[in-house]
Amino acid sequence: MRTLKNLLSLKDKVALVVGGAGYLGRAICETMAELGANVVIVSRDGEKCKIFAEELNEKYKTKNYGTSVDILDVKNIEDLMTEINEKYGQLDVLINNAWSGKKNSFESITFEDWDYDIDICLNAVFYTTKLAVPMLKKTKGVIINTTSMYGHVAPDHRIYDGIEFANPPSYGAAKAGVLQLTKYLASFLSPHGIRVNAVSPGPFPFLETLKNKEFKESLESKNMLGRVGEPDDLKGAFALLASDASKYMTGQNICVDGGWTAW
């Protein structure tokens, strides 16, 4: 019987984290590196990814790499996969974590905003996964999709007055789509030994949001644990799903939301 430490180890694995240099992405990359993986960190800001990769190299003595990618450009993603193959010769873990979009209410969102959000949050997950699967087949790898509590439940309009902190209708619709895509992929990639799961974060507000005491308190009041999430709160779920500690789990979603969606 393998020890838990052995099951959680990602030593000599290669993990690609899309959106890895952002607020939550950094915690995900830290988790992969701490467990021994070599992490490929990508986002639109390549320089930010390179600097973060060097930090992880120094801290964990793993072989991390940062670069830019446009996840709406299929050729750009293809080039990234070629680069990973040439640099590491394998891909074991794919984490789709990118997000970009405007704060919008139903009234303020434009057709262009809607299309962009759906492209980034849903279509890009499909593009990246489609192009990563050939490498993941060789390693019987793992895919983790970052979704959201708003893929399960609707935002409460009473806590979103105006558009400063509003959650756009496109966001939850896309994340619900990612949840279904996760289940579909878990089914159709299972013959290749690829496991596919999702993590749904709850309220993890950015620092500028936390400065608004009234809004922060309204988020906390809707949460069983009475607080908002911190990036470290995601580490356990991603460690579990990326490693052999979850080797009998696929097609599942873990809500890391302080109990928000349970009532």
65 carries an active-site annotation = no
Between the CA atoms of 145, 170, 41 and 32, what dihedral angle is there, to the nearest 10 degrees? Answer: -30
CB neighbour class for 100 (10 Å; exposed up to 12, middle 13-18, buried from 19):
middle
Q: Going edge to edge, which strands form the sheet with 93-96? A: 65-68, 38-43, 14-18, 93-96, 142-146, 195-201, 253-256
DSSP 37: -
Find out whether 145 and 98 touch, Cβ atoms under 8 Å: no
- Is residue 146 within 8 A of residue 201, CB to CB? The reply is yes
Catalytic residue among 88, 171, 184, 248: 171
Longest dimension (CA), the chain: 57
User: For residues 139 and 196, what is the distance between their CA atoms, to the nearest angstrom?
Assistant: 14
Comparing C-alpha atoms, which of 180, 248, 176, 259 is closest to residue 224? Answer: 259
Residue 211 backbone dihedrals phi, psi, to 5 degrees: -70, -20
Can you tell me the distance from the alpha carbon of 128 to that of 119, in angstroms, rounded to the nearest whole number? 12
Which phi and psi (to 5°) does residue 186 adopt?
-60, -40
Helix (H) / strand (E) containing 256: strand 253-256
The catalytic residues are: 171
